[in-house]
């Protein structure tokens, strides 16, 4: 038996199966959305079954080290610069700093080439800065598994961060013998958008503006605050939200995201990071300035220990798990009815057609958004008035 894909929703595209294959029988091949899937060369495959054994994108994924229930905390970085350049409360930055200062290496999602999102290895605090902030695109991990294993074999401490599917498969790939020095951090995940759509979107923006994008910020907290989700691109001061719009429409997600087995509180990592939506229930003054705060779930004793070691750089509050339960800790994103049609139209009619047909907010969507923002701002002003 080998990993031949029968249904796209069974594969998260991490590439662990390719890395583990001793006969190099597996190649990762892109579909029409730019998502990668393994293809097995039957002439090279020896049917050893290792590719299947090392795949933990299954409901029975390993969680043997986990507490019965995770311990929940809210936190934000004490350093304003770290806070503002992170997506939520900057907890990842504090963890990465600690790991590097202890002589370890950090893996996370960065950029290669012209904003192609992929996992990279960092050995200095400066190199880890690229991993900060959410990139709303599936990160390519194809070549990273062997590097993680090699570091662990060399006795290095490794912090690996990514989506829960990437983390679960790194854990399975590395195996229990090398687990001691591996610290796993996953993010609460809405779903990962298509790399091809992202590339086409950048091309579209650059053609429209007739200049190259030199900086990407998928959520600009500085200009719009933490609560609103608006991207910004630097050719000086260009702000758009079309990409964000498609993100929340869920058309561009990988098939496996709609059937993700990790949307619960039994996480495959030591520590889970997310946006702390509902922070006010725990402490009504924690995020009065709307600069953002992280939700942290300590899933294992190791997760709790390492998190505590970062507290000198963080403001931390304890929380009750039931006050932190956002949607993606309960269930995956629902597959939109038009998902298949979207993909067919994208492949047959092209990106320009998609932008016109699927990426324009209707009047009612715009109205609902403006009313939502106005309501949130009014509540925020009331809170400031009450507690300051
Ligand atoms: C695609 C995506 C969907 C998300 N959906 C939700 C959600 O529904 N609810 C929620 O609470 N939080 C979600 N998050 C997580 C959230 O936005 C923050 O990343 C998280 O709270 C950590 O914040 P931070 O301030 O500590 O660190 P930050 O500096 O903001 O985050 C950095 C961390 O995110 C990782 N990362 C960034 N982009 C990617 C990527 N494309 N693939 C894999 N890892 C990546 C980095 O490796 C690093 O570990 C999502 C993130 C991504 C990338």
Would 36 be classed as within a structural domain?
no
292 CA: nearest ligand 1 atom:
25
Would 7 be classed as within a structural domain?
no
Would 244 be classed as within a structural domain?
yes
Would 193 be classed as within a structural domain?
yes
Predicted confidence band of residue 380 (pLDDT cuts 50, 70, 90)? confident
295 CA: nearest ligand 1 atom:
21
Alpha helix positions (H), the chain:
16-20, 50-53, 80-84, 91-101, 125-128, 145-153, 164-174, 195-209, 221-224, 242-249, 279-282, 301-308, 339-349, 351-358, 363-387
- Closest Cα to atom 16, ligand 1: which residue? 274
With contact defined as beta carbons under 8 Å apart, do 68 and 290 qualify? no
Ligand 1 neighbours (beta carbon < 6 A): 86-93, 108-109, 117, 131-137, 139, 161-163, 185, 187-190, 192, 273-275, 294, 326, 328
Would 243 be classed as within a structural domain?
yes
Would 41 be classed as within a structural domain?
no
pTM given for the model: 0.94
Mean pLDDT of the chain: 92
If one residue of 34, 187, 192, 324 were mutated to test the ligand 1 pocket, choosing by the most ligand atoms within 8 A of its CB, it would be: 187
pLDDT value at 241 more than 80 = no
Would 60 be classed as within a structural domain?
no
pLDDT value at 310 more than 70 = yes
pLDDT value at 224 more than 70 = no
Q: What range defines the domain where residue 219 resides? A: 68-388
Q: How far is the CA of 188 from the centre of ligand 1 (A)?
A: 7
Q: How many domains does the chain have?
A: 1
- Closest Cα to atom 50, ligand 1: which residue? 189
Residues 6+ apart with CB under 8 A from 296: 72, 73, 74, 75, 91, 271, 272, 273, 307
Q: Tens of pLDDT along 45-88? A: 999 999 999 999 999 999 999 999 999 999 999 999 999 999 89
Would 21 be classed as within a structural domain?
no
Q: Tens of pLDDT along 86-118? A: 989 999 999 999 999 999 999 999 999 999 999
């Amino acid at each position: 038996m080998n990993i031949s894909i029968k249904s796209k929703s069974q594969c998260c595209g991490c590439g662990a199966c390719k890395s583990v294959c001793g006969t190099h029988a597996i190649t990762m091949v892109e579909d029409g959305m730019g998502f990668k899937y393994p293809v097995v060369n039957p002439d090279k495959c020896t049917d050893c079954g290792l590719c299947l054994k090392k795949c933990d994108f299954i409901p029975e994924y390993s969680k043997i080290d986990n507490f019965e229930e995770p311990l929940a905390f809210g936190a934000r970085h004490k350093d304003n610069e770290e806070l503002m350049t992170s997506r939520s409360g900057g907890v990842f930055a504090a963890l990465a700093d600690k790991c590097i200062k202890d002589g370890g290496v950090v893996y996370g999602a960065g950029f290669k080439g012209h904003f192609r999102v992929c996992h990279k290895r960092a050995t200095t605090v400066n190199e880890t800065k690229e991993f900060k902030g959410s990139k709303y695109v599936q990160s390519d991990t194809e070549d990273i598994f062997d590097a993680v294993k090699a570091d662990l074999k060399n006795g290095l401490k490794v912090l690996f961060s990514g989506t829960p599917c990437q983390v679960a498969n790194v854990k399975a790939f590395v195996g229990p013998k090398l687990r001691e020095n591996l610290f796993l951090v996953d993010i609460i995940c809405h779903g990962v958008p298509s790399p091809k759509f992202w590339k086409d979107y950048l091309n579209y923006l650059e053609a429209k503006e007739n200049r190259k994008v030199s900086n990407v910020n998928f959520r600009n907290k500085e200009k719009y605050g933490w609560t609103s989700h608006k991207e910004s691109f630097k050719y000086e001061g260009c702000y758009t939200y079309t990409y964000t719009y498609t993100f929340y429409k869920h058309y561009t997600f990988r098939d496996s995201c709609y059937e993700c087995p990790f949307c619960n509180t039994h996480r495959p990592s030591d520590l889970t990071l997310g946006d702390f939506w509902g922070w006010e229930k725990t402490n009504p003054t924690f995020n009065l300035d709307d600069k953002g705060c992280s939700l942290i779930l300590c899933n294992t004793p190791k997760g709790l220990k390492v998190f505590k070691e970062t507290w000198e750089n963080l403001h931390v509050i304890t929380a009750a798990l039931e006050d932190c339960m956002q949607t993606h800790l309960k269930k995956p994103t629902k597959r939109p009815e038009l998902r298949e049609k979207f993909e067919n139209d994208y492949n047959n009619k092209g990106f320009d057609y998609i932008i016109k047909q699927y990426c324009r907010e209707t009047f009612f969507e715009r109205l609902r958004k403006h009313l939502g923002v106005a309501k949130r701002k009014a509540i925020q002003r009331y809170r400031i008035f009450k507690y300051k």
